[in-house]
Structure 1
Amino acid sequence: MAIMVTGCQSNRLPEATTRISLTSDVNDYRYLIGPGDNLTIFVWRNPEISGNFLVRPDGKVTTALVEDLDVSGKTPTALAREIEEELSKYINSPRVTVSVTGFQGPLSEQVRVIGEATNPRAINYTEHMTLLDLMIAVGGLTEFADGDNAKLIRVIDGEKRSFDIEIDELIREGDISQNVDMLPGDIVIIPEAWY
């Protein structure tokens, strides 16, 4: 007689995996290239291979001599050195400069606001961004927001941590002590008031 044993299958989806931001200190921010960024790649004395390139959704660009170069998550300077290395196969001592326009950045570097903001969305992180800057970018709180029970979710040492933040005190009462620094990858959750 055979006995068949089956395990329970969970209907839960696996948790999303995201890259952890390289910035863990507000004073040590370096911009990272991401999908949607426009790159100007200038190769000194080689205008025929210089140009403007859009970073594809897969985080890559294709230039005249280098195909499918993975650029997402790199600083412009690091990318320039990598392109120099690749181009040295074809050009003697190439000098490359990379500049970014039309900033998007990788998703791991964006700050997200969800819940009772006027325009909840992901915002591209900028150096020294604060909670007040973020709230201005999303248009403030809705009339139904419970801003003083908001949460800030931040990854610290690979672990998600939750912090209480008081957005009503900051915006409506002008308590500037509530204006905390934001970091790339932060998530602000604004609940609805129960009244």
Structure 2
Amino acid sequence: MVAKRAGERPAASPGGRRRGALLAAFLAAGLLPCLAPATALGAGTAAGVPDEAYLLAPGDRVTVTIFDQPDVSGTYLVEPTGTITMPLLGSVDVREMTPKGLQADLVTRFSEGYLQNPVVNVRLAELRPFTIVGGVRAPGRYAYVDGLTVETALALAGGLSRLSGDDLSQRSDFLQTDERLKALTIGYLSQLARKARLEAQLKGETEITLPRVGAPEREALEGLVEGEREILSFETVSQKRQIDLLAQQSRQLEAEIQSFEEQADLQKEQIAFIDDQIKDFQSLLVNGLTKKSAVIDLQREKSKSRSDLSRILSDLSRSRSTLAEARLKLDELDTSYRSKLMADLQDTRLRLAESESGLPLVAETRQLKLERMPGAMDSANAPLTMKISRYRAGAIDSFEAQATTVLWPGDILQVGGASGAQPASGGNDLRLPAAGTPSPAEEPAPRRESMPDRLSQR
């Protein structure tokens, strides 16, 4: 009976006196031991779960029986918030409570101005289901039954999904797709590393900036970039050696040209001096003051000087021509080097675009095949692993399980490791641009000298 206000005892009605007399008679006869004061009652549990250890959680159904209060008695579902909603009391938080603890709590609550000496009994009507995932034929949620063990749960889920018959064909198909995805991923990472190296070479840098990828691919990419660093170092050193050789040859030719020019100037001065001597001797010869042989000797000396000058001028012309060729080779060396880099970079970008358009499709195909066959990644000879995740004291506790391990309501049984429950994504961790979108690239630094407008394309 409901009191008018909290703390006030209502007057005993005739019906109440009759019920009290009937209750006293039953107690005297030993027929109603369960209707003793609530503090002496034990709350029942279903399915053989120990009451002292079992805590109520969302998904459980509890039957609350209050003597002589049919409107309040009934079966209540523990909601996701961890509460049950009862008449008079409203929302009651049952988290971290055992059925016996809830029974004592309800006695206290109803005694505070609602019912006089309430007799309450709480029992578990329906336990929350357990979940089985991983390498079983029918993963999902199942109703908890009395004495449920891991072996029984596997039987309920259709047994292990071992490969047989058509499964072998599906596994082979999956492995081929998985291998293709791995090959495409390695190819994509290789092209990323190559692109980073080519861009560094075009900028004249000696260090490669590591492209950004997902954590699973970073280690593989670092190995590929290390190989590209060796290529960068070799090609940079080789290019510099060729440039240095041509530059050294140019400097030597410039020194030779300067030497020939000085020799030519000296020969010209020598010829001019001989011409002056010839004029003087010819005047003396007219006056009979010298011999004709002296004039002839000077003319011979002049001819020899003119011959030497001609040879020097020929060497000078040849040196200038060789210098022009060396400078042209130096220019062609730089142009061909950068042209090759540009062609390789263009080819790499094309291959990257092809990988970026194909990788997501192959990764999605692999994922779909893996979802249809959760145990595809498990080795046929690998030992069976089972793990139970159990809610305890507000936290999830995970531990290894054996075939005879007893399951509790709400447990999550994972069979066959993580490959079945949460399949690996393979290439999905790659930070790929949208299909068909070209990767952004910085413009290469301008070369030192003039470059042809059109570069050879591969």
TM-score by length of 2: 0.28
- Which position in structure 2 is the counterpart of 1:46? 69
* 8 Å CA contact 2:62, 2:122 repeated in 1: yes
Paired with 1:127 and 1:143, the residues of 2 have a C-alpha distance of 28
Distance (whole Å) between structure 1 residues aligned to residue 159 and residue 93 of structure 2:
37
Deviation track 1:49-72 (CA, whole Å, cap 9, x = no partner) reads: 222322222121121121210124
The residue aligned with 1:103 is 127
Distance 1:127 1:99, change over 3 A: same
* Structure 1 residues 122 and 150: CA distance shift in structure 2, 3 A: farther
For 1:97, the aligned partner's letter is: N
Aligned match of 1:135: 154
8 A contact 1:152–1:186 mirrored in 2: no
- Tell me whether 81-90 or 183-192 shows the greater mean CA deviation: 183-192
Where does residue 59 of structure 1 map in the other structure? 82
What is aligned with 2:416?
A: 190
Change (3 A) 1:181 1:127: farther
Instruction: Write the letter of the residue equivalent to 2:58.
Output: P
Given the superposition, is the C-alpha separation of residues 122 and 182 from structure 1 closer, same or farther in structure 2, using an over 3 Å criterion? farther
Q: Distance in 2 between matches of 1:58 and 1:131?
A: 29
1:116 to 130, 135, 143: 135
The 2-side partners of 1:52 and 1:155 are apart by: 28
Give the root-mean-square deviation of aligned CA atoms. 3.5
Change in Cα spacing, 1:57 to 1:143, as seen in structure 2 (3 Å) is: same
Q: Which amino acid aligns with 1:67?
A: G
Tell me, yes or no, if structure 1 residue 77 matches structure 2 residue 100: yes
Q: 1:89 to 1:128 in 2, by over 3 A?
A: same
Partner Cα separation in structure 2 for residue 122 and residue 37 of structure 1: 14
Alpha-carbon separation, structure 1, partners of 2:125 and 2:104: 19
Aligned equivalents of 1:159, 1:80: Cα separation in 2:
27
Could you say what secondary structure the match of 1:140 adopts? coil
Aligned to 2:264: none
Partner of 1:151: 385
Partner of 2:117: 93
Cα pair distance change 1:73/1:161, threshold 3 Å: same
> SS where residue 102 of structure 2 aligns?
helix
Whole-angstrom distance in 2 between the partners of 1:77 and 1:133 = 29
Provide the identity percentage: 22
SS of the equivalent of 1:81 reads: helix
Structure 1 length normalisation: TM-score? 0.59
Secondary structure of the 2:71 match is helix
Q: Partners in 2 of 1:58 and 1:52 — Cα distance?
A: 17
Unmatched runs of 5 consecutive residues or more in structure 1: 1-26, 166-178
Over 3 Å counting, the alpha-carbon distance change for 1:129 and 1:56 in structure 2 is same
Offset from partner CA, 1:70-101 (integer Å, 9 cap, x none): 12443322211110011110222211112332
Matched positions, count:
148
State how far apart, in whole Å, the 2-side matches of 1:104 and 1:155 are: 14
Q: Which has the higher helix share?
A: 2
2:92 alignment partner AA:
L
User: Residue 56 of structure 2 contacts residue 94 of structure 2 at CA under 8 Å; is this kept in 1?
Assistant: yes
Alignment of 1:8-27 (within 5 A): none
Letter of the structure 1 residue corresponding to residue 100 of structure 2? T
Distance in 1, matches of 2:60 and 2:132, equals 22
Secondary structure of 1:187's counterpart equals strand
**CA apart distance, 1:151:** 1.7
Q: Report Cα offsets for 1:133-168 as digits up to 9, x if no partner.
A: 1111211112335596222335799974446x6xxx
Looking at structure 2, the residues matched to 102 and 96 of structure 1 have their Cα atoms a distance apart, in angstroms, of: 19
Q: Which one of the candidate residues 29, 37, 49 is aligned to 2:50?
A: 29
Residues of 1 paired with 2:112 and 2:96: CA distance?
24
CA contact (8 A) 1:141 1:147 kept: no
In structure 2, the gaps of 5 or more residues are: 1-47, 164-374, 421-458
Paired residue type of 1:153: K
SS state at 1:84 partner? helix
Distance 1:67 1:50 in 2: 13
Task: Give the letter aligned to residue 51 of structure 1.
Answer: G
How many Å separate the matches in 2 of 1:48 and 1:66?
13
Match of 1:19 in 2: none
Counterpart residue type for residue 180 of structure 1: T
Contact 1:113 1:121 in 2 (8 A): yes
